[in-house]
Structure 1
Amino acid sequence: MRLNWWNEGLQLKLRIHPAGLALAVLYAIACWATRQLSLDQFYLPAGVRVAAVLLCPPRLWPYLLLGEYAYFAQMRYPMIEKYGVTWAVLASVSLMPAVMFITHWGRRMIANSVNARLLAIALLSSIVVTLLNVSFSQLLWPMPPADSALAFLSRAVRFSVGDFIAILTVAPLALLWAKRNTEPLWRTISTGPTAVALSTMTLLGVTASLIPTEASTLRTSLQLLMGLPAIALTCLHGWRGAAIGVPALNLIIGLTTPKPYAAAFDASTFTTQQIMAITGVALLLLGSRISHYHRRYQLREVGEKNAINLARSSHLASESDLRERAIHLRKLGDGIDLSLSEVINWLNSHGHSAIASSLTHTANVHSRLFREQASLVYPTALEQLGLYVALQAGGVRSAWIDTHRVTEPRLAGDPCRLSLDLQLTAYRSLIDAVSLLLKSESGQVIVRARCISVGQQRGIVMTASLLDRHRALSGTTANLVRERLAGRALAFGGSVHCRHNRIVMVLVESGTTTRRESPKGIHLAPA
């Protein structure tokens, strides 16, 4: 049974997909078309080769091989008689597998940085492909080029730089297209600064191409000035800007170079292109770092917003629980008052008027104290009458009066225009601030509050300060203020500061939310 495969042979299943054949045809046409616009120092098919391998998953690489071989077949078949069939075959079949191997290695070894992987693949591909090309021509041509070692090296460097520039021209655009669902590419291109930068770059390139060959210095200067819009794009949009600016820069310089056909070489432009290659690498690295730190900033900003939302939800949940407790206490107080009223009526009906009168007085006093303490748990009056009434008529006002240290609050504006959760936060913050001053400082305390409105922003500014302006808050008090009040203020878009003799608290909210819009979990009680 184990030798059945030897007797019966191996069965191979090969499936050819029409989409794969279309990909092979499209790749071959792209290589042929870009070769018509190429130079030795700017060989665009090398960029198309790397971009195709980067874009396509490995399962489609066989179709890329098919397209590569079709492209080389139509180009090198007429060269067989001059250069030999061995060179035509080996020099055609080895380039794409080499790039595929380098790309596979780059994905495995440099998995964390897309930009570093791109530059590594571009550098290695340009060097390896160039070495293969010049080596095969030197070894397999019937009459190899009679070059010296220096000429051979110069030719290899020229081809390698041309391939590298071409890869930096096409591959970033391919990666940008691959990230179109995560990177807002089209919005970036459509913005005004991007359009201005690309237009300026194109204008400089066209102007440089119209300058006579004799004025090569001026033409080189204009070509170098084209790097400024690319730098601006990188600074504006990070890696996306570099992935647009660098290819545009290389493409404009390459297409505006004289003699735009294959195997042509322009020595004056080659120096400029070497500078632009180095500039392109620098811009891609700079753009990658800008995007990295921008992404980290965005993640931190989102984390801060989530933390603030969680803190706000926690505060609202706590207020909801306290409200339920206050309602329960009020029901208990109503039950006690009802029971005492029945006892007082029974005493009056049986002729115990003096005892009934004393009990009535005692019940009224304790009922008032009980309700004041219940209002400290949760200010139900705030829901119907607003923040200022809760501060002036609730249990907190009685507690302040009993200390004989808190003066009459100075309140301005209409707090009813603020949302209920903001009013609750202001209520708790102001009570805590006054409590800290009463415990940690001596002397009289004055409370101020003023509602503010600037455009769509509404809020409230509150101060709890010592009446003596010549006294400053102690360091211990300032630390307690930051520990106990800053968290609640930040959760509701505000801030807390200690300034000389006072605590300043600012709470703001956006939009036009009114007091009647209760936050989730808190329901407005009937008046």
Structure 2
Amino acid sequence: MLMEVFGQWWRKGTRIGIRIHPCGLFLAAAFAVTCWAARQTSLDQFYLVAGLRVGALLLVPLRYWVFLILGDYAHLAYVVLPLSDELGIAWSILTPACIMPTIAAIVRLHKSVLQNGSPAWLISLAAIAALAISSINIAMAELLWPVPPDIGILQRLIRYSVGDFLGILTLAPLAFAWRLRHKHAAEVGRVTLISVGAAVAIPVLAVASVYVRAEQPWLSGSLLFAMGMPAVLLTCLHGWRGAAAAVSLVNLVMGITMPSTGQPWSFDSTTFVIQQILAVVGITLLALGSSISHHFNRLRTEVIASSEVISQTRKAHTASELSLRERAADMNRIGEGIDLHLSETADWLIRQGHPRVAENLISTSAFYSRKFRAQASLVYPTALEHVGLYLALQIGGISDVWQSTERILQPRLFGDPCRLPVALQLATYRALTEAVSLLLQCEQGQIRVSARCGRTRFGSGIVVVAAIVDPGHRLSDATIKAVTDRLAGRVLSHGGTVECRQNRIRMLLRDT
């Protein structure tokens, strides 16, 4: 079977269909011209063409990569073919044919991890691509040049690799940031005057370094190192996108201001040392920015999830309170019906000549009617909607319950709770009554209830405290656990906090 397939392929060959699109040809031509222009401003230790190759592969869809390879080959052929008589025709043909496909394969291998929006992999991409390009150039020169260069292989590898790496770090992060401009846009952060100032400071420091280079070389080097400070600031403000912009700016101004002799192997050893340091700084900034963005996204996801949980909890509490409100209204209607029937019965007894029995019936019904309505107010404090939280605590059924324990002192209430939303007052009422109930069940001693509501620059809210009067008292672990389990959900749903401090339970609820 295998031999038949091979024989058929040998006879008929393989058909390869390639669609030549005008946009692709235009892309190839534009890429070739751009690479040629970038080559004019590049040095061995700062090679922008490498960054253009990687950046273009990151931006352009996979189906157009063949045109990028064609454009890069055309650009390299234009550069190296005039040297074919001196360096060999084989080198002039093979070297351009190997570089761009190798970079494309490296970018393709990193495609899956880069699609997840992890910029830290740009460092791996830049390092591998730089080493691959440099290795191809050196290997082709050693194998195909009639006379190999005098510079040692290791020296050339380091110099070329650093130059290619810096070129990639200059343009590839910007291309990657542009590609992901619509993904996780919230992590970019708002552009402020500080961000603009930091971005402007980098080229200003570079220009100042060039200006004082001849007279004060030590100051020139210090200014070059000072460019790292605004770069770090951009990274901290905008995560890996800020790092991408900072690293690109630093490398670009370094490349533009780098002294050059104009020779093919122009090299400045002092600047090269600084560039090696900047390469390390670039790696550090991208790694730091990636870490900042990662933790920011994780925190933002947690905050969104927490907000959703709080919103759902508040809706559940609201639905529960509406149900209790209806139940309390039904109880009040039943109580009113009972009162009406008892009143009619008392009138009938009076007409039948039994006034004393009617009087006893009326007094008894009034007593139990108050008890019944007090219990209904414990189900839902209807008075809170009309007279506010403080009066609901003082005249509602909860006041009778607290007085019957003989452990609750007169509440200390400050502020006007009627300015707060009814939902917030109701949540405060539930939380406070639950806190007092826990103290009555689990602790000994007199209890003091206090509350203060008002408004600050962060918004309006209320602070309530249920405390054991004895200052030396300490809440038990069981009480603290019960407070956390039974009160935290309701209080947190209103943007508040619950704290157990020594002898007291302190709760803050805010109007959010």
Fold match, TM over 0.5?
yes
Tell me how far 1:220 sits from its aligned partner: 3.1
**Quick check: 1:496–1:506 contact (8 Å CA) kept in 2?**
yes
Kindly indicate whether residue 81 of structure 2 is the aligned counterpart of residue 80 of structure 1: no
Larger mean Cα displacement after TM superposition, 432-441 or 249-258 = 432-441
SS at match of 2:413: strand
Q: Equivalents in 1 of 2:344, 2:397: separation in Å?
A: 27
Larger mean Cα displacement after TM superposition, 47-56 or 72-81 = 72-81
Larger mean Cα displacement after TM superposition, 285-294 or 467-476 = 467-476
How big is the alpha-carbon RMSD for the aligned residues of Structure 1 and Structure 2?
A: 2.8
Kindly indicate whether residue 316 of structure 2 is the aligned counterpart of residue 314 of structure 1: yes
Q: Match for residue 340 of structure 2?
A: 338
Q: Match for residue 522 of structure 1?
A: none
Q: Match for residue 15 of structure 1?
A: 19
Kindly indicate whether residue 202 of structure 2 is the aligned counterpart of residue 198 of structure 1: no
Q: Deviations over 1:484-523 (max 9, x none)?
A: 223322221222333444333222224xxxxxxxxxxxxx
Q: Match for residue 41 of structure 2?
A: 37
Q: Equivalents in 2 of 1:177, 1:72: separation in Å?
A: 27
Tell me how far 1:456 sits from its aligned partner: 5.8
Change over 3 Å in CA distance of 1:262–1:92 after alignment to 2: farther
Tell me how far 1:49 sits from its aligned partner: 0.4
SS at match of 2:162: helix
Change over 3 Å in CA distance of 1:190–1:30 after alignment to 2: farther
Larger mean Cα displacement after TM superposition, 462-471 or 289-298 = 462-471
Tell me how far 1:168 sits from its aligned partner: 0.8
Tell me how far 1:429 sits from its aligned partner: 1.6
Q: Match for residue 148 of structure 2?
A: 145
Larger mean Cα displacement after TM superposition, 295-304 or 23-32 = 295-304
**Quick check: 2:188–2:239 contact (8 Å CA) kept in 1?**
no
Change over 3 Å in CA distance of 1:189–1:277 after alignment to 2: farther
**Quick check: 1:445–1:464 contact (8 Å CA) kept in 2?**
yes
Q: Match for residue 126 of structure 1?
A: 130
Q: Match for residue 282 of structure 2?
A: 280
Tell me how far 1:113 sits from its aligned partner: 6.9
Note the residue ranges of structure 2 that are not aligned, 5 or more in a row: none
Change over 3 Å in CA distance of 1:11–1:419 after alignment to 2: same
SS at match of 2:141: helix
Q: Equivalents in 2 of 1:260, 1:328: separation in Å?
A: 95
SS at match of 2:467: strand
Q: Equivalents in 1 of 2:214, 2:44: separation in Å?
A: 19
Q: Equivalents in 1 of 2:194, 2:247: separation in Å?
A: 16
SS at match of 2:462: strand
Q: Match for residue 48 of structure 1?
A: 52
**Quick check: 2:123–2:283 contact (8 Å CA) kept in 1?**
yes
Change over 3 Å in CA distance of 1:455–1:324 after alignment to 2: same
Q: Match for residue 394 of structure 1?
A: 396
Change over 3 Å in CA distance of 1:29–1:400 after alignment to 2: same
> Percent identity at matched positions?
45
**Quick check: 2:188–2:238 contact (8 Å CA) kept in 1?**
no
Output the amino acid matched with 1:202.
P
Q: Match for residue 363 of structure 2?
A: 361
Q: Match for residue 375 of structure 1?
A: 377
Kindly indicate whether residue 161 of structure 2 is the aligned counterpart of residue 174 of structure 1: no
Q: Equivalents in 2 of 1:439, 1:104: separation in Å?
A: 67
Tell me how far 1:462 sits from its aligned partner: 2.0
**Quick check: 2:120–2:286 contact (8 Å CA) kept in 1?**
no
Match of 1:101 among 97, 105, 120: 105
**Quick check: 1:176–1:183 contact (8 Å CA) kept in 2?**
no
Q: Equivalents in 1 of 2:221, 2:453: separation in Å?
A: 64
Tell me how far 1:59 sits from its aligned partner: 1.4
Q: Equivalents in 1 of 2:92, 2:285: separation in Å?
A: 38
Tell me how far 1:314 sits from its aligned partner: 2.1
Q: Match for residue 507 of structure 2?
A: 505
Kindly indicate whether residue 495 of structure 2 is the aligned counterpart of residue 480 of structure 1: no
Q: Equivalents in 1 of 2:62, 2:479: separation in Å?
A: 66
Q: Deviations over 1:181-214 (max 9, x none)?
A: 1355997694222222233221221122234558
Q: Equivalents in 2 of 1:450, 1:158: separation in Å?
A: 70
Change over 3 Å in CA distance of 1:482–1:320 after alignment to 2: same
**Quick check: 2:239–2:292 contact (8 Å CA) kept in 1?**
yes
Larger mean Cα displacement after TM superposition, 344-353 or 66-75 = 344-353
Q: Equivalents in 2 of 1:374, 1:232: separation in Å?
A: 61
Query: Normalising to structure 1: TM-score of the pair?
Result: 0.88
Q: Deviations over 1:72-112 (max 9, x none)?
A: 23323323333333222211111111001111222357776
Matches within 5 A, 1:211-360: 211-212=212-213, 216-259=217-260, 263=264, 264-360=266-362
Q: Equivalents in 2 of 1:349, 1:465: separation in Å?
A: 56
Output the amino acid matched with 2:223.
L
Output the amino acid matched with 1:435.
S
Kindly indicate whether residue 65 of structure 2 is the aligned counterpart of residue 61 of structure 1: yes
Larger mean Cα displacement after TM superposition, 216-225 or 445-454 = 216-225
Change over 3 Å in CA distance of 1:160–1:405 after alignment to 2: closer
Change over 3 Å in CA distance of 1:185–1:464 after alignment to 2: closer
**Quick check: 1:209–1:258 contact (8 Å CA) kept in 2?**
no
Note the residue ranges of structure 1 that are not aligned, 5 or more in a row: 511-527
**Quick check: 2:187–2:296 contact (8 Å CA) kept in 1?**
no
**Quick check: 1:36–1:261 contact (8 Å CA) kept in 2?**
no
Output the amino acid matched with 1:86.
A
SS at match of 1:94: helix
Change over 3 Å in CA distance of 1:262–1:372 after alignment to 2: farther
Q: Match for residue 90 of structure 1?
A: 94
Change over 3 Å in CA distance of 1:368–1:119 after alignment to 2: same
Change over 3 Å in CA distance of 1:33–1:225 after alignment to 2: same
SS at match of 1:255: helix
Match of 1:442 among 441, 444, 448: 444
SS at match of 2:287: helix
Output the amino acid matched with 2:485.
E
Q: Deviations over 1:277-309 (max 9, x none)?
A: 122112211221222222222222323322322
Change over 3 Å in CA distance of 1:442–1:244 after alignment to 2: same
**Quick check: 1:51–1:170 contact (8 Å CA) kept in 2?**
yes
Q: Deviations over 1:224-280 (max 9, x none)?
A: 232232223223332122111111111111100123857222232222211211221
Larger mean Cα displacement after TM superposition, 384-393 or 336-345 = 336-345
Change over 3 Å in CA distance of 1:240–1:464 after alignment to 2: same
Q: Equivalents in 2 of 1:219, 1:471: separation in Å?
A: 67
Tell me how far 1:372 sits from its aligned partner: 0.9
Q: Match for residue 519 of structure 1?
A: none
Tell me how far 1:361 sits from its aligned partner: 2.3
**Quick check: 1:37–1:261 contact (8 Å CA) kept in 2?**
no
Larger mean Cα displacement after TM superposition, 311-320 or 34-43 = 311-320
Query: Normalising to structure 2: TM-score of the pair?
Result: 0.90
Q: Equivalents in 2 of 1:257, 1:153: separation in Å?
A: 23
SS at match of 1:496: strand
Output the amino acid matched with 2:322.
S
Q: Equivalents in 1 of 2:295, 2:279: separation in Å?
A: 25
**Quick check: 2:187–2:297 contact (8 Å CA) kept in 1?**
no
